[in-house]
Structure formats: structure tokens, C-alpha cells
Structure 1
């Protein structure tokens, strides 16, 4: 066994690669248990990475077992003894036995490899989740926090392994976050949850908020709890209270804070109920929202649209019905062509 001093700088990944640690996981003994307990007593700072490695190693033992030739020969002998004597002596049966043995041998060799790949994918690979046109999707994260994504949004999650040391995600689009409170295992302090966007870092301990991050514009609505919003470009931090909306668009120096009542919040949150809500919205906003959510470009050219504003609700999950509502509101016919919808005067 190695001296304890060799483990001083170990992290969880180093423990997982250590032959002594792997041997203990695959075949624990009282002596090995005492050895590791002694290590953690000498170096308490290793308790966290050692515990992480233990947790990650569950189910990985099979990937560390080498299949010796003796084991393979014994497997072949046992296979032969399970056959009736006349079948074992038969040439056809012999070929069949050899074929089955080859499959058994291949399975024995491939199983550790496949298991290792599955374990790697489960614990060490980051994930990218994207929604399509008019799609609303709800995700539950590793810690039980929930994120609801609006159409054409993207969320990048770190691996489960990295998540154990830091809770953070990278986000573009529209999403509502319901963050679970969580304590650090070693300190008992509350763990921070951070959402990264192009122009904002939102840090929370446990709260509910909605983020709009599209078209060079960002809006953040705090519904419950408290959050610390950092503008990395301006180098400013804002402590937000429930009911506040932080708004930023390209060209602004930094965020603008405003209080929003329930009706003012609704256009930012109604998509969770599969609705798009507009309150006296200009045509530029209507066209932009259609492109963002439905992936369709509205062509509204002509004098009749210059001073038009739209107030109403559109179904997020029914594009055709949304177009019918707009056609009736403007007294025009919606004509699709490729990825565009042209609004024409009725004959």
C-alpha cells in the first residue's frame, strides 16, 4: 500500500484511477477499510473527494475486472458439461457449441467496455437540451430543481460529476427556474445555483424566477425568494426582490429595474400555460415573438401595419389557430409561402 502522503493532492478522479482504491471497491476487506479510515483521519480534507469517488464507483466494479484465460477456459468447460453427451459428440452440436462459446467470450470481453461507456456517459458527459418550434419542455435536474423551457431554447448542463462541486447551467431562450435549496455536505452552508447567459449571471440559493434571453435582449423576473444578478460587462450586481423585473437590451449601459404587478408579469410567464400574451404590442414585437416561438417569419408590409398594435392571446401549441386569430384581428388573409406568412387583403 502507498504511504498516506501520496494521497494529499488527490481529487475524486484520482481516487477512481487508483489501483488500491479500485481493488477495495471490487473486493472490500476489513484491512483495506481500516487503511482508508486511517487516511481520512490523517487528512480530513480528503473526505469530500473520497466520498464522491465512492459514490461514483458504485456499479463500476465490473468494468475493472479482467477476464483471464483461466476464467475463459473454465467458462468453456462449464458450457460443455451442460450439454448431453450425444450432443457434445455430434459435429453439428460441436459447431453450435463453439459458436455459442464465441458469443459468450465476446460478451465477456465487451461487457466491461460497454459498461464503462455507459458509466462515463452517465457521470462525466455534459448535456445539451434544446427545444423546437412551439415546444415547451420541463426538466428535472440532478438536485430536484425544475426548469421549464419555452420553444427554441437551449440549456447546457455540466456532468453529474462536476455538479457535485458546483451547481450552474448555461442558458439561451426563455425558461422558468424552480431552484431547490441544498446544503454543502462538508460545511452545512447553502449551495449556490448559478444561471449563465450572454449578459447576466443569476445566483440563487433557492427561489423561482423566469429568464428571457433572446434577440440581444434580456429580461429577468423574480417571482419568489431573492437573487443576485451580476452584469459581467458593466461590473455591477443587483439584489432583486420578488415582483421586480430586470431589463437589458443592446445599447443600454446596464440593467434597468422596475416593479411589475401580476398583469405586467403575465407576458413573461404565460408561455408556461402554452399561451403568448400581448398587451398593446407593436408589429415589430409581434413579428419577433412569432419568429422566436413558432420559427415562422411574418411579412407585414404596407401602410395598414405601421400604426397597428395587437392585444390578445395566441395558443403557443397551435400555429394554425394563432394565424387565424391574427387574420381575423387585422381583417387580412394569412398566406403561407416557404417559411414565411404573408398577410394579404381579402378579395
Structure 2
């Protein structure tokens, strides 16, 4: 049974009044990603009610060393003060570790996180009325505080389609990815893909500028509607013109569009979309291609179709419910 916590329990943690049992319950409660957003909301409320300061623990400890024993203390009782000094050391260490913990969580405090699970598609509306549709297995981070009057900036890991709202003050909209790709727009519709194997940007409407911060020698590139830009790990651009929007936005309707796509690439797409592990038995099978549009909400709906079309067998590994091995049919 999942632990249920009250706001007061978390306030006790923030104020350092929590019992060991309460701290354990909070740790278990935070293992559920759905509770983490609520945690930071309540933390923000508590911080607004309790303005914090950063104590100078080092100076405090130095002053404590200068405190002399009272006249009534006999020399042989003075060592009894040593545990107090030890307590100050422990208190300073705990405070220091707490400050490190807050610093390590600064991104979670500053950014609101929108996530999707495998097989899930989600649309969110940003504070500026821009809309973002997240593909499966995607993370979008949006600043909680509007501190930059010139730029709206978000961070993306995964794949998403952006419909950016133009603002009266002409604020730029920037998308950043883990491989230091920067996509900058004013008002447009585009799709950004950023996963382990690389990044790419497809422009549906308007104009965008892409720039790789990982390659300072690469000049910013402005692309037009229908352009697809693939970004290598070294930050180099490869542009493909006159691309079909259907291919790059079909995932919003749980559709896969293949155009002479090799099975190896199809397996990679299914792995990313549904969190499965597909093993292609040999290189010859991996190079077989297929074309067409297929709708599927999980791997089990698509694999039988591919099996018939590519003359192969699909075997689910025993004891591994999400692992499939593809082999050529005899």
C-alpha cells in the first residue's frame, strides 16, 4: 500500500521537526513520480511563508571556540563541554549537507516537469498559451518563474510537437535538448526529436533557427516549412527538403508511417515508443524494408502484421514479457 502524507508532515520535514518514521514515509512517498510535483508545490508554499537565510556555519563554529567556561566550572568538569562542541560540528555538517541537497535539486525547484510514459501521448498548454504535444517516453521542463522578459525557454528530452503562440512583445521561444541543440522561433509549428541516437527538427509552419552549441564552428541554420534537419553527435547539420508532415507527426494519432524503412529502424522506433526490447536475429533480416501506414497502441498490435509482411516469426522470450526476438521464417 502506498503511503499517504499530509501537508503538515512535509512541513515538519522542511522545518527539521520530522521523526525518523516520518522521514522514511516521505522517502517512500517520493518514489512515486506523481507525488514529486506536489512535493515541490508544498515546498514553494512553505518557503513563501518562511523566508530563509543561509547561516555562516564556519563563523558560528569559530565563535563557539572562543566561549570560555564560567567561573563556577572546575577544570575537571570543563571536558563536559566537549560533547556540545561535537554537537555543533554535527549540526554544521548536517546544515552543509542539506544545502548541498537543495543545490542538487535546484533544477527540480526551478522547472516544472511534464512527462509521458511508454505508449502515452499528452498535450499540455504552457503559460503563454503555446501548446506542446509530447510523444511517448518524453520529458519537457518549463521554468516555474517568468524571469526573462526577452526569452521563453524550455528543455526537451524525447519528442514533441510545438505550436508556439506569438506574443505582443515578440519574445523568442527557445527549445534546448541534452545534446546542446538550440531551436529558436517566434511563432510557428515544428517537431523536435532528441533521444540517445541523435536529434532532428521538422518544421511544419513558419520559420525556425537551429544552432548547435556543441559545435562552435557550425553556423546557425534557418529552415523553411517542409525541411527536416538531422543533427549528428558532433553538432553537424544535414538538411532534407520537401519532407511530408505526415511522416513526422503521425505518432500523434498512434500511427507509424514507413517508407521503405528497414526492420532495424522499425525495431528502434518500437523500443522508443513502447519500452520494449526487440532483437533482430540476423543482419539480412534487419535490412528487409517495408512501406505503409499502420496504427498501433502497443507492440503486440504491430508485430503480427510485420511478421506476415516480412515473412518472419516473432518469439516472446520466456520470463521477459517485453522482449521479442525476430527470426526469418523457415
Shorter-chain-normalised TM-score: which range? Answer: 0.5 to 0.7
Pairing partner for 2:271 from 265, 285, 291 = 291
**Conserved in 2, the CA contact under 8 Å of 1:333 and 1:344?**
yes
TM-score normalised to structure 1 length = 0.58
Alignment correspondent of 2:240: 258
Alignment correspondent of 1:147: 132
**Conserved in 2, the CA contact under 8 Å of 1:199 and 1:218?**
no
Alignment correspondent of 1:103: none
The Cα of 1:164 is off from its aligned counterpart by 6.2
Q: Secondary structure at the match of 1:242?
A: coil
CA distance in 2, matches of 1:215, 1:126: 22
Pairing partner for 1:249 from 227, 232, 236 = 232
TM-score normalised to structure 2 length = 0.61
Say if 2:204 is the partner of 1:223. yes
Deviations 1:221-250 (A, max 9, x none): 111111121111223211111111111123
Distance 1:218 1:194, change over 3 A: same
Alignment correspondent of 1:86: none
Aligned residues: 220
Alignment correspondent of 2:7: none
Give 1 or 2: higher helix fraction.
1
Q: Secondary structure at the match of 1:135?
A: coil
- The CA RMSD over aligned residues, in Å, is 2.4
Say if 2:153 is the partner of 1:173. no
Alignment correspondent of 2:299: 319
**Conserved in 1, the CA contact under 8 Å of 2:267 and 2:278?**
yes
Say if 2:164 is the partner of 1:182. no
Larger Rg computed on CA atoms: 1
**Conserved in 2, the CA contact under 8 Å of 1:182 and 1:191?**
yes
The Cα of 1:316 is off from its aligned counterpart by 4.0
Q: How does 1:1-347 map to 2 (within 5 A)?
A: 126-162=111-147, 166-184=151-169, 190-197=170-177, 198-235=179-216, 236-251=219-234, 254-262=236-244, 265-302=245-282, 305-337=285-317, 338=320, 339-344=322-327
**Unaligned runs of at least 5 residues, structure 1:** 1-59, 65-123, 185-189
The Cα of 1:328 is off from its aligned counterpart by 1.5
The list of structure 1 runs, each at least 4 consecutive aligned residues, that deviate by more than 3 angstroms after superposition, is: 160-166, 344-347
Deviations 1:138-196 (A, max 9, x none): 11100110000111111111104447664110001111000000123xxxxx1111100
**Unaligned runs of at least 5 residues, structure 2:** 1-44, 50-108
**Conserved in 2, the CA contact under 8 Å of 1:134 and 1:316?**
no
Distance 1:192 1:324, change over 3 A: same
